[in-house]
Structure 1
Amino acid sequence: MDGRAVAPAAGTVLNAFATGVGSAFAIDLDVTATVDLDADADDVRGEVAGHPDADTSLVERCVALTTDAYGESERGSVRTDSDVPLAAGLKSSSAAANATVLATLDALGVAEEVARVDAARLGVQAAREAGVTVTGAFDDASASMLGGLTVTDNTEDALLLHEDVDWRVLAWTPPERFFSADVDLEAFRRVAPVAEHVEELALAGRYGMAMTMNGLAACAALDRPTDPLLEALPHATGVSLSGSGPSYVAVGTEAALAEVKPLWDERPGTVRLTTTRPDGARTT
């Protein structure tokens, strides 16, 4: 039994570290998962293409939880291929979890019978059990799984809002990497009053302003530079540190982001120009 699925990356509108409420939007960079199930296998073996030393505990746990819930506890192998840089704040873990859960459901022949939001919750559970997330990242997982933009309460894995957004997206990823499980939560709790205001803005549909305020607060909490935000502010609809970084993401029109791209191109690392994704994870 085999299955295959893809899930998009995501960018941040509201970081959930401060209050447990977060918001994210899907962007057009994909993680692909291929799952082969074998009833005679003793365990799940994971592989990340191009990264032989990568930690595969998350995707292995995704396969195990999904087969336990919807199959006969089959085991086997899972391989992920990614356009999304690892540990860069672009939600590669959430995308990998979503793609793996959906590929496993595809291998079991039940992908169309399981609600996408419930599939995302399985990936969130796996992420918590694998220790790769602080909040559970249901905001990131829901945006990746459903597409568009979501606002969630990560303490309850509750979906508060789901809307389509249509932006061009510019992402700058510095060379360094940072794992969200290493975040100083106390630093984020100090900006909780700002996060509460950002939540109000997001729920009112003022996504660009919410995103920018979140970016300034997140940079302050993590002692990250604000220069990339200030370079984008005169042009972009919104700009933020994505997750705990190190990537920064700006959204807006193509003409607006054409003003920002040359400025970010001067920085070390990689600049990607892409779009939001109205559709989320899907079998292939």
Structure 2
Amino acid sequence: MEGRAAALGAGTVLNALATGTGAAFGLDVETRATVDLDPGAAAVDGAIAEAPAADTELIERCVALATDRWGDGEGGTVRTDSDVPLAAGLKSSSAAANATVLATCAALGLTVGDDASDPDVDVTRIEACRLGVRAARDAGVTVTGAFDDATASMLGGVCLTDNAADELRLREPVTWDALVWTPPERAYSADADVDRCERVASMADLVADLAVDGRYAEAMTVNGLAFSAALGFDTDPAVEAMPHAAGVSLSGTGPSVVAVAERDDPDSDLDAVADLWGERSGTLRRTTTRNDGARVLESPDGTDDTRP
């Protein structure tokens, strides 16, 4: 009873802390999970490859909820390894939760898909996503429930959500190149100052309106300026990038900043942004958006990946 799966990291279009409405987009960075279930085990034991001392409650809770819902309460082990840095604003918790839930489904022999009416689909990705969000709330790693981050990680593309209702309002593919700057410090979503974020609610409403109109890059720039100020981050990296990028924003509750450009756009120059950001301490990552989302990986018997 072994299963493997991978889920995406993501960047922010709209931080949900102000109003409960949020939006995020999938990035081509992944967290992978391996789940081994044991019907005789009474508990779940988790491990995070990059951070052996890190709290594993989230991924353990994901396995427990999934086996309670779709299995027989099996225990076992779960291990994650990731290209998504922890506590950097790139949705590492959502990616870990999504990958773990899908890996648990695979270990239970369940077929994951998107069409709930398909008799061959046992669990839809949106169902799996909601279960991962529940686990994140139980583990206390999120303030809003992060349904926006979770859907972007699970489904790919840009996802706009009502986090209070766990409702997906829209999803649309985007084709962007992206540059991510991550400074050395870390910021945990559960520690964010919600009261200060709520003071920029009018700007968050404007960002939501821009997103509904499909103006995602503009929306993320407005979001980045507003929430950098609310959360106490320097706006200089965003200002440096604005002449060269289609959009730029603080990602999540920080500290990473993400700049995006339409591919083959002559008015965008992420190389110029990289030159500017390269003067700062921290790391730079070049990547792209992804529209396919999370997936079950090749099973132990050698069959092909299950792709949505």
Provide runs of 4+ in structure 1 moved above 2 Å: none
Q: Tell me how far apart the structure 2 counterparts of residues 167 and 218 of structure 1 sit (CA, whole Å).
A: 22
Relative to structure 2, which stretch is displaced further, 256-265 or 153-162?
256-265
**CA offsets 1:77-96 (integer angstroms, 9 cap, x no match):** 00000001000000000000
Equivalent residue number for residue 35 of structure 2: 35
Equivalent residue number for residue 215 of structure 1: 224
**CA offsets 1:61-92 (integer angstroms, 9 cap, x no match):** 00000001100010100000000100000000
Residue 194 of structure 1 aligns to a residue whose secondary structure is: helix
Taking structure 1 as the reference length, what is the TM-score of the superposition? 0.99
Equivalent residue number for residue 270 of structure 2: 257
Cα deviation for residue 278 of structure 1 reads: 1.1
Question: Of 115, 128, 142, which residue of structure 2 is paired with 1:133?
Answer: 142
Question: Of 259, 270, 284, which residue of structure 2 is paired with 1:271?
Answer: 284
Coordinate RMSD, CA, aligned: 0.8
Q: Answer yes or no: is 1:165 the counterpart of 2:174.
A: yes
Q: Tell me how far apart the structure 2 counterparts of residues 159 and 22 of structure 1 sit (CA, whole Å).
A: 10
Contact residue 172 and residue 248 of structure 1 kept, 8 A: yes
Q: Map of 1:192-203 to 2, 5 A cutoff?
A: 192-203=201-212
Q: Tell me how far apart the structure 1 counterparts of residues 174 and 293 of structure 2 sit (CA, whole Å).
A: 13
Mind listing any 5+ residue stretches in structure 2 that lack a counterpart?
113-121, 298-308
Q: Map of 1:28-107 to 2, 5 A cutoff?
A: 28-107=28-107
Q: Map of 1:173-252 to 2, 5 A cutoff?
A: 173-252=182-261
Contact residue 10 and residue 26 of structure 1 kept, 8 A: yes
Cα deviation for residue 50 of structure 1 reads: 2.6
Q: Tell me how far apart the structure 2 counterparts of residues 253 and 206 of structure 1 sit (CA, whole Å).
A: 12
Aligned residues between the structures: 284
Relative to structure 2, which stretch is displaced further, 251-260 or 176-185?
251-260
Contact residue 102 and residue 111 of structure 1 kept, 8 A: no
Q: Which amino acid aligns with 1:171?
A: V
Taking structure 2 as the reference length, what is the TM-score of the superposition? 0.91
Q: Tell me how far apart the structure 1 counterparts of residues 149 and 232 of structure 2 sit (CA, whole Å).
A: 22
Q: Tell me how far apart the structure 1 counterparts of residues 290 and 45 of structure 2 sit (CA, whole Å).
A: 30
Question: Of 151, 159, 165, which residue of structure 1 is paired with 2:160?
Answer: 151
The structure that is helix-richer by fraction is 1
Cα deviation for residue 239 of structure 1 reads: 0.3
Cα deviation for residue 220 of structure 1 reads: 1.0
Contact residue 5 and residue 103 of structure 2 kept, 8 A: yes
Q: Tell me how far apart the structure 1 counterparts of residues 236 and 223 of structure 2 sit (CA, whole Å).
A: 15
Q: Tell me how far apart the structure 1 counterparts of residues 279 and 111 of structure 2 sit (CA, whole Å).
A: 44
Residue 252 of structure 1 aligns to a residue whose secondary structure is: strand
Q: Tell me how far apart the structure 2 counterparts of residues 35 and 223 of structure 1 sit (CA, whole Å).
A: 38
Contact residue 175 and residue 262 of structure 2 kept, 8 A: no
Q: Tell me how far apart the structure 2 counterparts of residues 77 and 264 of structure 1 sit (CA, whole Å).
A: 40
Mind listing any 5+ residue stretches in structure 1 that lack a counterpart?
none
Question: Aligned residues: percent identity?
Answer: 63
Residue 196 of structure 1 aligns to a residue whose secondary structure is: helix
Q: Tell me how far apart the structure 1 counterparts of residues 239 and 49 of structure 2 sit (CA, whole Å).
A: 36
